[in-house]
Amino acid sequence: MRPLFALLAAALLAATAPARADTELTFYYPIAVGGPLTKVIDGYARDFEKENPGIKINPIYAGNYDDARIKALAALKAGQPAQISVLYSIDLYELIEQDVIVPWDDVASTAEEKAWLKAFYPSLMMNGIYKGKVYGIPFQRSTIVLYWNKDAFKQAGLNPEQPPANWKEMAQMAGKLVQKDAGGNVTRWGVMVPSTGYPYWMFQAFARQNGHDLMNKDGNRTNYGNPDVIAALQYWRDLGAKHKVMPEGTVEWGTLRQQFTEGKTAMMWHTTGNLTAVKNSAKFPFGVAMLPASKQRGSPTGGGNFYMFKKTTPEERKAALTFVKWMTTPERAADWSMATGYVAVRPEAYDTAALKAYAKDFPQAVVARDQFKYATAELATFQTGRVRKLLDDAIQAALTGQKTPAAALKAAQGEADRLLKPYR
Amino acid sequence: MRHVYGWLLLTPAALLLVGFTHFPAAATLFDSLFSTGTVVRPSRFVALGNYAALADDPIFWQVLGNNLWFALGTIPTSMAIAMLMAIWVNDRLPARALVRMAYFTPTVLPMIAVANLWLFFYTPQIGLLDQLNAWLLGAPSHNWLGDPATVLACTMVMVVWKEAGFFMIFYLAALQSLPPELEEAAKMEGSSRWYFFRRVTFPLLMPTTLFVLVNATINSFKLVDHLFILTKGGPDNASSLLLYYIYQVAFSFFDTAYASTLTVILLLLLAGLALVQFQLVERRVHYR
């Protein structure tokens, strides 16, 4: 019996020991791209603690974006909340509806802190602001870019330094890039746009390029049935069905990078988050360009933001602000961008010596930044999971030829209207 | 006094069962009668409203249909293959341990790892399947997972591959417990191998078959890990299964009430199937 008592006493002591003046911050974060990123985050946390004695940081890796949201919300319900978390930028409305987050404006008191809230690229803030208040501070953010294989361009007699600038060019160039064997089977496709995993995200680019966003600012109305939006889906479908430059059916998100680096497609649309991985595995020179335009250029942003939870003490909120400010200084944003391929979230980061030197050797790294002026918010509404899945299903039904783009999108719009009516 | 003793013996298991199985099941049933509450719209009693919504939900019917096809496609095949493999590796053949291990390997791998492997088998052009196809048949590349007509079958093949080795172990154990005199007697009588299998081995394996059948049925409704990696239920729900849909409704749509409703249906379905299996098949099972 005695050792048990000793153990209990020790446990009690251990439990009461950290009752010092330390403020402890727990934060969950997801990782959705390749590479040993947990080490990078842990390293940041340790560096921060050294510079800011009195604040302890517990970063907890929580899987992908869905897992992270589920874990953070479950922790909140179980009464042992995290103070901050990096969660999907598009979880904003859900988190507001669950009433678990507070805006950063409520904590930012000094002029300097208020200025910090405005230091980021405006297109990255679109998914973080609700009714004029900043709820999400951009951290791991990406956009879609076009990757092209310069060797394939040369082979097809195209200028290897000139990617397609618009939809027509993309279809034409892709047609020249398709390669077939003696039996008429395609050995290299012209272009691939992934349509599993995040089809809505890719489609937002098409829709934006054709002149439209898919939802309004208040997150209570979608625009799926618009004729230009339908035309955008028709173009995507035609790449496979009519122009025969992309495989018919859906294109898998997870294996597309390998198909590109194996030379099975000459162009692909993919997230900038894959840039470092493509750079490390492609055996041919490749270029990165902005997505082609129809009426205009366009791409949605994506990725994760810092949120602050409601169940926090004033001290914790202050400490959280200090930490997140530290995590988004230009130097750290630059460092994070080079480690991952994510975009640096504020303009000053691109003026740091480190990122300038990196971009000189690897100009592909700054294309995403240049595309920001055409960027738009990622699809987020109230009831966001359902509303998004309606669109995902419609896109896949159209791409696999089960429904026409018009029929699929109009049906999705009808359902979305039904879901969103209570929020208007 | 005896009663108390008996109940005390039962208590630990009963507590665990009630706490982790029966109470959650009852709570699920209870939750399915309410709407999902948010801060804006608090939860309220809707009686069978969620069940009415379920009847009108085309995706529910689609995933239910998919799941039945999935069960039909995977259960008999994996059982038949398991039995064949077991009989094969029960014989005295060279490197028997190696062959057994080879058959069992897929079972040891986690489903997520398996799905990641098969994702690359099925990838058009660079995938193993397409390369074999092109090399042996000269056939054009096919978008296996991107075509609603083939995607469900593709997931079935993978699951059969993964499950058969596991069921083989049960058959192998059963085969080894069969008395060797039976085979010797049959040989003396001059019966053929097929006749011996049909009239002796197969009937004696029936208890194992029942056990495996129940397990395979449950697994065909329980195994959805691969969908997270392979297809996320797509294209357009063509490969989605009931449990995966429940996950989406609960954790992507946050509609816990509707997820509870779907869970109740799944529970009823499995309970019904188990009952039928025990009632009907048990009559044909000879223990001893």
In degrees rounded to 5, what are phi and psi of residue A61? -70, 130
Does residue A263 have a pLDDT over 50?
Answer: yes
Topology of the domain covering A20-142+302-369:
D-Maltodextrin-Binding Protein; domain 2 (3.40.190)
Structural domain count, chain B: 1
A354's enclosing H/E stretch is helix A353-361
Enter the CATH code of domain A143-301+377-423: 3.40.190.10
Does residue A12 have a pLDDT over 60?
Answer: no
Distance in Å, alpha carbon of A93 to nearest chain B alpha carbon = 12
Distance in Å, alpha carbon of A260 to nearest chain B alpha carbon = 10
Residue B73 lies in a domain: yes
- Subunit contact B248:A389, Cβ cutoff 8 A: yes
CATH number of B121's domain: 1.10.3720.10
Across all residues in chain A, what is the average pLDDT?
88
Find where tokens 């479908």 sit.
Answer: A237
CA angle A92, A375, A423 (to 5 degrees): 35
Supply the pLDDT for residue A1.
38
Averaged pLDDT, B218-231: 89
Averaged pLDDT, A104-125: 90
Q: What is the pLDDT of residues B25-43, one digit of tens each?
A: 999 999 889 888 766 677 8
A224 three-state secondary structure: coil
Distance in Å, alpha carbon of B141 to nearest chain A alpha carbon = 7
Closest to A143 (Cα-Cα) out of A355, A367, A350: A367
CB A411 within 8 A of CB A337: no
Does residue A5 have a pLDDT over 50?
Answer: no
Q: What is the pLDDT of residues A238-251, one digit of tens each?
A: 999 999 999 988 99
Nearest CB neighbour to B252, from listed A66, A259, A399: A66
Bridge partners of residue A145, in order along the sequence:
A270
User: In chain A, whose CA is at the least distance from the CA of B236?
Assistant: A393
Q: Taking the alpha carbons of A257, A169, A292, A207 in that order, is the dihedral positive or negative?
A: negative
Grade residue B146 by pLDDT with cuts at 50, 70 and 90.
confident
CB A412 within 8 A of CB A395: no
Q: What is the pLDDT of residues A153-169, one digit of tens each?
A: 999 999 999 999 999 99
Q: What is the pLDDT of residues A354-381, one digit of tens each?
A: 999 998 888 888 888 888 889 998 998 9
Q: Quick one: DSSP state of residue A104?
A: G
Q: What is the pLDDT of residues A400-412, one digit of tens each?
A: 999 999 999 999 9
CB B269 within 8 A of CB B221: yes
Supply the pLDDT for residue B286.
63
- B237 contact A CB<8A: yes
Nearest CB neighbour to B232, from listed A197, A264, A386: A197
Residue B33 lies in a domain: no
pTM higher than 0.90: no
- A74 contact B CB<8A: no
- Give A254's contacts in chain B (Cβ within 8 Å): 119, 229
CB A263 within 8 A of CB A155: no
Nearest CB neighbour to B146, from listed A247, A262, A264: A247
Supply the pLDDT for residue A33.
65
User: In chain B, whose CA is at the least distance from the CA of A381?
Assistant: B253
Find where tokens 């099975």 sit.
Answer: A264
**ipTM for the whole complex:** 0.79
Nearest CB neighbour to B146, from listed A184, A249, A389: A249
CA distance A272 to B234: 24
Q: What is the pLDDT of residues A181-209, one digit of tens each?
A: 877 788 899 999 999 888 999 999 999 99
**The domain containing residue B104 runs over which residues?**
58-282
Q: Which residue has the higher pLDDT, A13 or A85?
A: A85
Where in the sequence of chain A do the CATH 3.40.190.10 domains occur? 20-142+302-369, 143-301+377-423
- B155 contact A CB<8A: no
Grade residue B23 by pLDDT with cuts at 50, 70 and 90.
very high
- A22 contact B CB<8A: no
Task: Classify strands A299-309 and A375-376 as parallel, antiparallel or unpaired.
Answer: parallel
Grade residue B132 by pLDDT with cuts at 50, 70 and 90.
confident
User: In chain A, whose CA is at the least distance from the CA of B237?
Assistant: A393
Supply the pLDDT for residue A19.
43
Nearest CB neighbour to B119, from listed A97, A255, A385: A255
Does residue A28 have a pLDDT over 50?
Answer: yes
- Subunit contact A196:B231, Cβ cutoff 8 A: yes
- Subunit contact B234:A259, Cβ cutoff 8 A: no
Give 3-state DSSP helix, strand, coil % of chain A, rounded to 5. Answer: 50, 20, 30
Across all residues in chain B, what is the average pLDDT?
88
User: In chain B, whose CA is at the least distance from the CA of A248?
Assistant: B143
Residue B2 lies in a domain: no
- B41 contact A CB<8A: yes
